[in-house]
Amino acid sequence: MAKDSPKTQRAQSPISKEFPIVGIGASAGGLEAVSQLLTQLPPNAGIALIVVQHLDPSHESLSAEILSKTTRMPVEEIKDGTRVQRNHVYIIPPNHNLAIQHGILSLLPRPESRGSHLAIDSFFQSLAQDLKSRSIGIILSGTGSDGTQGLEAIKAEGGLAIVQDPLSAKYDGMPHSAIAAGIVDLVLTPSQIAEELVRFASHPLLTQTENPDELSKNISIPQGKLKSDSLTTIFTLLRNQSHVDFTHYKLPTIKRRIDRRMVLHKKKTLAEYTSFLQSNPQEVRALFADILINVTEFFRDPDVFIALKKQVLSKLVKNRPADAPIRIWVVGCSTGEEAYSVAIALLEVLGDTSTKPAIQIFATDISEPAIQRARTGIYPESIQKNVSHERLTRFFEKTDTGYKIAKFIRDMCLFSRHDVISDPPFSKLDLICCRNLLIYFDSALQKHILPILHYALNSEGFLWLGSSESVGNLPTLFRVTDKTNKFYLRGTSPTLPRLRFGVSTYASEKMPPTLANPIGQTLEAPDFQRESEQLLLSEYAPPGVVVDSKMEIILTRGNTAPYLQLPPGQVSTNLFKMASQEIAPYLRLAIQTAKKKNARINKEGLKITEGKQHRLLNISVIPFDTEPHNRERHFWILFEPGSEPLKAESHKPIGTHKPGHRPTWDAIEQRDRRIKELDQELTDTRTYQQSLTEDNEATQEEVTASNEELQSTNEELQSTNEELETAKEELSYNYNLKANICDECNRIISLKELGKNCKLKTKERVD
């Protein structure tokens, strides 16, 4: 009997489209977590659960037998061709990978590959493709990073991403990896996850039959209107906070993201969710991040990269002078994988060339978190499936959690936040990679962006689009060089389109909030006196100071002379320049800890010298905000001295005593106390050195980011200046052509000739 076609299978298996399917990824310690989840899950929850574990390929698994004792739902080990049913639990067998299509599970042979076995990523990606917004991915206890990329795929399709709280996980490697990727919707204990699954299963947006023609039913839009009033309000909120206008983004993508947020916050109508957005700025930021979520990977479409090296990159490097840099722009770079892939491919094309030209790769995105991740260049072990062992060895450094891009590759790439829709473009480029970005824009926005990309390229520059993208009805701007791989060469259009780009509308998160206040509002300096006095109401009011984020003292209370003194030379109010050298290391460490934990930090029992005596000192560091929306942190630093001075001790060498005499108990106690003090000092010194190292690394990252932003801004300004120069030349050219034509002989008469012979009948020439 012939097998059913995919179309027939879909028609015969609508079950998987009527309820959510939950993929659960677990490794070490995961069986216990799955048991806790199933114990709290009612047998009629209305969902199906598929558990993918890291199992020993050479031994049979008892997972199904063990888990069947924790739930009244049927628990079975998966067989090839199993059809997923509601209120069932399915367990992957050992030595297999798993896929799902049209609600039917398929067992795949475990690949013979190097590195970790990434069965969870593989299944989650399959689940995302099949279930779309009805897919739910859960990562439980385990080591490594398997499942992170799978959760990204689920979230990109509108599904939900949930992770076990690392504090409740026996092994927190997998949960931490997903959380660090910034893709997690909920972080919960197994019991809490069960409660949320019950709620999700009954939500109408997860139980309706999916049909591309019915997407608009999720967000009801009156006939005759392109967008509902609620959707317009949402776009306005997003634009006001993120400075990005989503009006001309394709609606189905926006709707899927909004549906996700509605499910998470228990909102059943768009009007309810809109009201929730208006009163919760944090949710506006979360929706903005959701809309920008995208799945990317190293060397996406490997065959296309091979063609890129042969047809594009090889032409760019051929006969290029050493002083002519290769300039590439990766638009919508997300977390950096594509930019680094292009850099690696270009270096492979250059090979062992003795005189290599400079390489400048500008990688931009409108997501600041994505840019920050790209700058770090750290990726999970799962990149092994896309990056060959040779490339991993040559272009990456192995870390405890994955791989870090090599420094010589990182130095080739400049990452910055940039909105291709509104910000001035880069210029004089040899290649623009704009893959799978235009598919999110409507035709009007595509017609706006393509001329900008044309302007940014050199005369022989290339444009590289995604597999589902094209230049549309603008063939004069670009001519096709490879239709299959979407390579285009810059065309020479007889009439250049009008460009519209202005200064960036992006407001840096580091900008002081007072600068963003509407015109007409009174800007008042923070009342540090009032704020500090309110804080001290609950304290003993010891002497102290208030410092800002730059550690400049802006307020003092009480006598701080024993601890803080003006340094010699030029007057400075910097805390660390004024602090006693005995307490400066502990002070720096306490402030850094308070920054990280956003909580009060106490350092007790510090010894300071006063003449020939020692005194104990307690230091407290209290972080606080001067205004509710002020992101700059301030710190109260309180100095609480001990009540009585300590007697000065003359420490003899430890363990020495007169020959023939046994040490007294006092000497032994003094020795032990001194050893304990030295151990504590050594520990504090090591901690202080570590804090200095971390401070230095953080400062270096900030300097690098600032430098890249400045370089990007400089490129944009140069591009804007060139556009202004072009406009100036056009105006001058048009003015010089402005002449008159004789009515009798149709001869062009210049303005100068017209002045000499004003009797000629003339008319103004039409350009």
Catalytic-labelled residue, pool 16, 54, 430, 532: 54
The values of phi and psi at residue 170, to 5°, are -65, -40
Of 431, 424, 422, 434, nearest to 333 by C-alpha is 434
How remote is the C-alpha of 266 from its chain's centroid? 26
Burial of 203: CB neighbours in 10 Å, binned 0-12, 13-18, 19+: middle
Cα-flanking dihedrals φ and ψ of residue 557, to 5°?
-135, 130
| CA 405 – CA 419 distance, rounded (Å) | 25
Q: Is 59 a catalytic residue?
A: no
SS3 content of the chain, % helix, strand, coil (to 5): 40, 20, 40
The phi, psi pair for 398, rounded to 5°, reads -75, 135
Residue 767 C-alpha from the chain's centroid: 51
Distance (Å, rounded) from C-alpha 453 to C-alpha 477?
A: 9
- Number of CB atoms found within 10 A of residue 459's CB: 8
Smallest CA-to-CA distance from 92 within 57, 116, 125 is with 57
* Catalytic entry in 16, 117, 133, 146: 146
Q: Which residue, 501, 450, 440, 499, is CA-closest to 473? A: 450
Tokens 């919760």 — which residue? 280
- Bridge partners (DSSP) of residue 579 are 564
For the chain, the distance separating the N- and C-terminal CA atoms, rounded to the nearest angstrom, is 75
Residue 456 CB burial class (10 angstroms; 0-12, 13-18, ≥19): buried
User: DSSP per residue over 514-532, as a string?
Assistant: GGGSPTT-------HHHHH
For 212, the token pair is: 């591309």
Q: For residues 325 and 343, give the distance between their C-alpha atoms in angstroms, rounded to a whole number.
A: 13
- Residue 140: closest CA among 167, 116, 174, 117: 174
* Residue listed under structure tokens 């800002």: 548
DSSP E strands in 678-760: the ranges are 740-742, 748-749
Indicate the pairing of strand 429-434 with strand 326-331: parallel
Look up residue 527 and give its two tokens.
């009342």
The answer to whether residues 564 and 582 touch, using CB atoms and an 8 Å cutoff, is: no
Question: Is 651 an active-site residue?
Answer: no
Of 484, 477, 370, which is closest to residue 416 (Cα–Cα)? Answer: 370
Residues 563 and 557: beta-carbon distance below 8 Å? no
Supply 64's token pair. 């199904």
C-beta separation of 196 from 137 below 8 A: no
3-state SS, 176-232, equals: HHHHHCCCCCEEECHHHHHHHHHHHHCCHHHHCCCCHHHHHHHCCCCCCCCCCHHHH
Q: Is 54 a catalytic residue?
A: yes
Helices 148-156 & 119-131 angle (0-180, nearest 10): 10
Question: What does the alpha-carbon distance between residue 40 and residue 168 come to, in Å, rounded to a whole number?
Answer: 16
User: Among candidates 365, 402, 404, which has minimal Cα distance to 708?
Assistant: 365
User: Could you give the CA distance from residue 131 to residue 563 in angstroms, rounded to a whole number?
Assistant: 64
Task: Give catalytic residues, as residue numbers.
Answer: 27, 54, 146
